[in-house]
Structure 1
Amino acid sequence: MRQLVLASTSPYRKQLLQQLGLPFITASPLYFEELNQTVAPELLVKHLALHKAESLAKHFPEALIIGADQVFVDARRRIVGKPGSPERAVEQLKGMAGRSHTFYTGIALFDAAAQTVATDFDTFTVTLRQLTETQIRSYVERENPVDCAGSFKIEGLGIALMDHLDGRDYTTLIGLPLIKLTQMLEQFGVHIL
């Protein structure tokens, strides 16, 4: 089997990819991502995922390289980045409580040897329940979601913030849509089953 490289240092993406039972390595992408509010989120995440994958081609010239990226779009249709601080996380969550918001997750599979690529994206919508500031502050103190778009970790205590979730593949919400990735890998001759 060809070498498979995950262009990410995210422990969440690594854990998801391990579910497929394929040998792979991870590498930090050599690409600085920029959130452009003027680009449609579905195009932006595919673009970012592709550039992350392509950025490692020189280091892994024979590999299949997986790139992924995610943006969080709030109820006002604005792209929301990672909060970066506990106070900013509290502010983001206060503005999000009681509303529905959508994650766009882009995926790219780049064949470095053939210089061919497949890209796609998936969405997942979350609706937060009504929350008090005390509940929000308690959550942020306990989980410190400063490195997560949307200011919560759904795979952790963040589930307690939710009213309901809507999407076809829960792995999209975590950051690596495995249903789409499985289909893409098969297009490149990697059969999971």
Structure 2
Amino acid sequence: MDKIILASSSPRRRMLLRQIGIPFDIIVGSAEEKMEPSTLPWDLVIELSRQKAEDVARGLGKGYLVIGADTIVVHRNKILGKPKDMDDAYSMISVLQGDMHEVYTGITLIKTSDNIIKSGFEKTEVHMRELSPEIINAYIDTKEPMDKAGSYGIQGIGTLLIDKIHGDYNNVVGLPLKLLAALLGEIDIELFNYITFKSQECE
């Protein structure tokens, strides 16, 4: 089987793959991401995931399966990235609270043996509950928001901010596993064949 390479430094994506017992190595590319500000959200995450995967795949020989991924938060057609500082995090959460937003993740797979490339995206709707300034500040003080798109992490303390979601929870974390399995199936690779008998959750 091809060796899986995760082209991402995201600890959340590493966590999700490890939870289901997938062995992989991490290689993070160095190329600068390029995008047009007017690009539609789903096209944007696919393009950025493709850039990440291709940057890593260029340095590899045959026998590898590279996974690139990119996640963004969109509120009322505005893309929210990672906060620049605590004030920026406060502004983002203040906008999101009491309202619905979307989370998009794009995935690109590259099979280096025959240069097969397959991409797709997942969308999840998230409704954040109404939050007081005190709650927002208390959350920001945990420092959890500082490395996350939209300034919150649903898999951590940030779950207390969320009222409900519609769609794939793992997509909001950063890697929609059902989409990953579906894309692999399109190139005749069964994700179950990679799963080890002992996943992280069993330890």
TM-score (norm 1): 0.93
Residue of structure 1 equivalent to 2:187: 188
Poorly superposed stretches of 4+, deviation over 3 Å:
none
Residue of structure 2 equivalent to 1:11: 11
Contact (CA 8 Å) 1:84, 1:147: kept in 2 or not? no
Which structure dedicates a bigger proportion of its chain to helix?
Answer: 2
Residue of structure 1 equivalent to 2:176: 177
Alignment of 1:14-33 (within 5 A): 14-33=14-33
Query: Aligned equivalents of 1:9 and 1:122: distance in 2?
Result: 20
The amino acid across from 1:45 in the alignment is: V
Query: Aligned equivalents of 1:132 and 1:150: distance in 2?
Result: 17
Query: Aligned equivalents of 1:6 and 1:130: distance in 2?
Result: 36
Matched, 1:133 2:133: yes
Query: Aligned equivalents of 1:26 and 1:188: distance in 2?
Result: 22
Query: Aligned equivalents of 1:66 and 1:80: distance in 2?
Result: 23
Query: Aligned equivalents of 1:112 and 1:126: distance in 2?
Result: 35
The amino acid across from 2:191 in the alignment is: I
Alignment of 1:40-189 (within 5 A): 40-62=40-62, 63-74=64-75, 76-167=76-167, 169-189=168-188
Percent of residue pairs bearing the same amino acid type: 35
Contact (CA 8 Å) 1:3, 1:64: kept in 2 or not? yes
TM-score (norm 2): 0.89
Query: Aligned equivalents of 1:29 and 1:87: distance in 2?
Result: 30
Extract unaligned runs of 5+ from structure 2: 193-203
Query: Aligned equivalents of 1:192 and 1:46: distance in 2?
Result: 21
Extract unaligned runs of 5+ from structure 1: none
* Alpha-carbon RMSD: 1.4
**For residues 6 and 14 of structure 1, do their structure 2 counterparts lie closer, same or farther at Cα, with a shift above 3 Å needed?**
same
